[in-house]
Amino acid sequence: MREIHDDRERPGTSETVEYELDADAEGLAEVDVEEAVADAENAVGLAELAAAREETARVRQELESLREVYLRKLAEFDNFRKRTEREKEELQRIGGENLIRELVPVLDNFNRALQHGDDVDPAAFRLGVEMIARQLRESLQRQGLEPIMPAGDPFDPEFHEAVQRVEGSEAAPGTVVDVLAQGYVFGGRLIRPALVSVAVEAAPSGDGTAAESEEDS
């Protein structure tokens, strides 16, 4: 206990008043200050925690919104892919039907030629086969098939495949001399290159070389 002297006189008397301050009371005052500081710190921490929770909730809401957009776009893309595949299959089916419709009359003519082949002379049979072949070519051309017949043209490796070399030809070297099998282009795309023979320069004869060697010696 700490004594506190008060020199003030009591009213109506000349006595000096002494007060005593309990040490626990002094310690309590100090504790109240520490608690106030702790409460302030807790208040700041709670405010930051509340702000963090609010930010977390906002981010979660944005993520959920983005997730919904992603799922919607994914569903739209899947529907687009399925629709495109159906349209592609439908176009292929229609294209196939058109081709078959063109080829059925050709098949009928082949069947007639085979049925009556024994009843006609060879020249008439050959003429009939030639007519059927022309009908087939025209039917395929109407569907977009284009033949490649490059005889006399410069060799083009993009559309030609050289299977023979022809030496001593009157054609210039690098020129297609003969077409062994037609090439075909369909819809602007190469289906099969033309199989061709190509003119090349004649190799020097061995006799001439030997004669020149003898003269030099």
What three-state secondary structure class fits 147? Answer: strand
Nearest to 176 by CA among 148, 202, 199: 199
152 plus 131 within the same structural domain: no
173 plus 151 within the same structural domain: yes
What pLDDT, in 10s, does the model give residues 125-150?
Answer: 888 899 999 999 999 998 889 999 89
Question: What DSSP designation does 154 have?
Answer: B
Whole-number Å distance between alpha carbons of 33 and 36: 5
Q: Is the dihedral of CA 75, 80, 81, 87 positive or negative?
A: positive
How many CA atoms, within 13 angstroms, populate the side-chain half-sphere of residue 216? Answer: 6
Question: Which structural domain range is residue 203 located in?
Answer: 146-217
Token pair 């025209």 is at which residue?
A: 138
Nearest to 149 by CA among 196, 108, 202: 196
pLDDT at residue 8 above 60?
no
27 plus 106 within the same structural domain: yes
Residue where one domain finishes, among candidates 128, 143, 158? 143
What pLDDT, in 10s, does the model give residues 13-39?
Answer: 444 444 444 555 555 455 566 666 666
Q: What is the CATH number of the domain that holds 162?
A: 2.30.22.10
Residue where one domain finishes, among candidates 127, 143, 159? 143
Nearest to 204 by CA among 213, 196, 195: 213
What pLDDT, in 10s, does the model give residues 79-105?
Answer: 999 999 999 888 888 878 888 888 999
Does this model's pTM top 0.85? no
Whole-number Å distance between alpha carbons of 196 and 132: 25
Count structural domains, the chain: 2
Residue 85: its pLDDT value, please?
Answer: 92
Q: What is the CATH number of the domain that holds 127?
A: 3.90.20
Residue where one domain finishes, among candidates 143, 165, 182? 143
